[in-house]
């Protein structure tokens, strides 16, 4: 009987020790994994906050989402007339052109060089005709119902490229006001050259003669003889 | 590892997008057109205007942005005789008198030379984004629109009417008319 009880006690203690150790190990294991799990969560939260801060900074500094660009309004200021002068410009032809100007630049950075690109779409108007203030007293002669008119050479009066006539189509990288102005000025020069190549002065001569003939005929003259300075007869 | 891969993909996409380049062909420069017209410009005004904008701080914006341009340009005004029935005249041959009715004077051209549009001042706080070219162009467009709206106050149309009357009176006088009356249609 004693032996039986002794064996019983020994078995009880052995079982108690084994189970206790296992429970202890599992508790320690669970605590460790819970700690690392929590650390991971904190890490993710930290990274998310960091990313959010980065996005907020990029938005404020570089406006990556393009918010509020169209809401900017100018303040009311006065329009000042500096000078007024009398002119006598008879505009008889207009030339329109739409063109695009591209500028490229390479910005060297610490990590890599970035290609910057600017494309501006420009549509301009060239106005040409006769400066009638150059007409001398002998340049209009009336004989009966015939008018003899000698016009000066046709000339270009204006090449118009206003801010509403150009559009920034592509702006990669940072482009200053002067660089955009330089691109628009280049387009303006090109439009003027194209107008001359496309015979805007010839159109001005033809159209001007036709309109003045119509005008003088409405004043009761039958024959209108118009000669343009430097024009081949 | 996953985060590292994600970052790598992000960097690669940014690199790909920043490397993309477009080509502008010469064929673009084909939209040209000559047109005839008949406008008599009788007055030219030299104008200037300050264009300024304040993009001040608000509850969702930290720091200010300020920009100021100085613009110069010319305006030409006169009468547009392009339309066939834009002017009418009545002639009395017995008395050698003519009554010419012209269209109401109007602004024929506004020319804001880009090279005469100067950026005078620009201030951007460290926490705000810089003015882009698109924004600057938009502000200049608003300035141009403001000039057009204020043209009536400059008296340029009255001056154009006065000068056009002088021009046509001198011309008709040279053509032999003794009594000359110039009228304008109401605009």
Full-model pTM: 0.77
Strands (E) across chain A are located at: 79-108, 113-131, 140-143, 146-151, 155-160, 166-172, 223-228
Strand order, beta sheet including B97-102: B88-92, B97-102, B179-184
The tens digit of pLDDT for each residue in A24-80 reads 666 667 777 888 888 999 999 999 999 998 887 777 666 666 665 557 889 999 999
For residue A202, what are the β-bridge partners?
Answer: none
3-state secondary structure A140-207: EEEECCEEEEEECCCEEEEEECCHHHEEEEEEECCCCHHHHHHHHHHHHHHHHHHHHHCCHHHHHHHH
B32: closest chain A residue by CA = A97
* For chain A, domain boundaries: 1-64, 89-228
pLDDT higher at A217 or A11: A217
Chain A residues inside the 8 Å CB shell of B144 = 162-164
The distance of B76 to chain A (nearest Cα, Å) reads 9
Angle at CA A28, nearest 5°, toward A25 and A33? Answer: 120
End-to-end CA distance of chain B: give it in Å, rounded.
75
Q: Is B18 on the interface with A (CB under 8 A)?
A: yes
Chain B residues inside the 8 Å CB shell of A83 = 45-46
B140: closest chain A residue by CA = A163
For residue B122, what are the β-bridge partners?
Answer: B67
Is residue B22 in a domain?
A: no
The distance of B2 to chain A (nearest Cα, Å) reads 12
Is residue B52 in a domain?
A: yes
Chain A residues inside the 8 Å CB shell of B68 = none
- Predicted ipTM beyond 0.90: no
Judge: A220–B91 Cβ closer than 8 Å, yes or no. Answer: yes
Is residue B64 in a domain?
A: yes
B98: closest chain A residue by CA = A219
Is residue B15 in a domain?
A: no
The tens digit of pLDDT for each residue in A136-147 reads 888 999 999 999
Q: Is B97 on the interface with A (CB under 8 A)?
A: no
Q: Are A106 and A114 in contact (CB under 8 A)?
A: yes
Is residue B149 in a domain?
A: yes
What is the domain range of residue B80?
40-184
Chain A residues inside the 8 Å CB shell of B55 = 68, 72
What backbone phi and psi angles, to 5 degrees, belong to A87?
Answer: -130, 165
Chain A residues inside the 8 Å CB shell of B2 = none
Q: Which of A60, A112, A200 sits opposite B128 (nearest CB)?
A: A60
Is residue B91 in a domain?
A: yes
Residue A108: Cβ within 10 Å count: 7
Is residue B119 in a domain?
A: yes
Is residue B20 in a domain?
A: no
The count of domains in chain B is: 1
Task: Average pLDDT across each block of 10 residues of chain B; the chain has 187 residues. List them in order.
Answer: 57 49 56 88 96 76 84 96 85 91 95 93 82 91 95 92 96 93 89
Q: Which of B34, B110, B151 sits opposite A162 (nearest CB)?
A: B110
């Amino acid at each position: 009987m004693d032996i039986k009880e002794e064996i019983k006690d020994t078995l009880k203690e052995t079982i108690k020790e084994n189970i206790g150790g296992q429970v202890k190990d599992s508790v320690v294991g669970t605590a460790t994994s819970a700690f690392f799990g929590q650390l991971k969560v904190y890490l993710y939260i930290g990274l998310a906050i960091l990313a959010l801060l980065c996005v907020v900074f990029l938005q404020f500094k570089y406006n990556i989402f393009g918010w509020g660009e169209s809401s900017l309004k100018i303040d009311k200021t006065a329009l000042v007339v500096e000078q007024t002068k009398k002119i006598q410009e008879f505009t008889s032809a207009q030339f329109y052109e739409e063109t695009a100007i591209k500028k490229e630049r390479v910005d060297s950075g610490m990590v890599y060089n970035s290609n910057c690109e600017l494309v501006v779409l420009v549509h301009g108007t060239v106005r040409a005709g006769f400066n009638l203030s150059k007409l001398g007293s002998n340049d209009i002669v009336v004989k009966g119902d015939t008018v003899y008119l000698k016009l000066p050479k046709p000339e270009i009066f204006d090449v118009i490229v206003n801010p509403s006539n150009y559009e920034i189509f592509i702006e990669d990288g940072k482009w200053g006001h002067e660089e955009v102005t330089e691109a628009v000025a280049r387009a303006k020069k090109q439009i003027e050259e194209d107008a001359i190549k496309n015979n805007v002065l010839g159109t001005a001569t033809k159209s001007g003669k036709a309109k003045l003939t119509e005008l003088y005929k409405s004043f009761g003259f039958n024959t209108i003889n118009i000669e343009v300075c430097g024009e081949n007869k | 590892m996953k985060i590292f891969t994600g970052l790598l993909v992000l960097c690669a996409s940014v690199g790909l997008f920043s490397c993309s380049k477009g080509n502008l062909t010469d064929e673009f420069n084909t939209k040209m057109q000559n047109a005839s017209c008949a406008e008599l410009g009788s007055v030219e005004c030299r104008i200037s205007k300050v264009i300024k904008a304040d993009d001040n701080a608000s509850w969702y914006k930290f720091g200010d942005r300020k920009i100021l341009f100085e613009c110069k340009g010319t305006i030409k005004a006169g009468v547009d005789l392009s339309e066939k029935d834009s002017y009418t005249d009545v002639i009395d041959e017995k008395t050698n008198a003519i009554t010419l009715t012209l269209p109401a004077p109007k602004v024929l051209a506004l020319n804001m030379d880009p090279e005469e549009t100067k950026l005078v001042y620009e201030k951007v706080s460290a926490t705000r984004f810089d003015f882009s070219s698109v924004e600057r162009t938009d502000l200049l467009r608003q300035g141009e629109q403001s000039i057009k709206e204020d043209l009536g106050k400059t008296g340029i149309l009255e001056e154009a009417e006065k000068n056009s009357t002088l021009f046509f009176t001198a011309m008709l006088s040279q053509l032999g008319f003794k009594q000359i009356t110039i009228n304008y249609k109401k605009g």
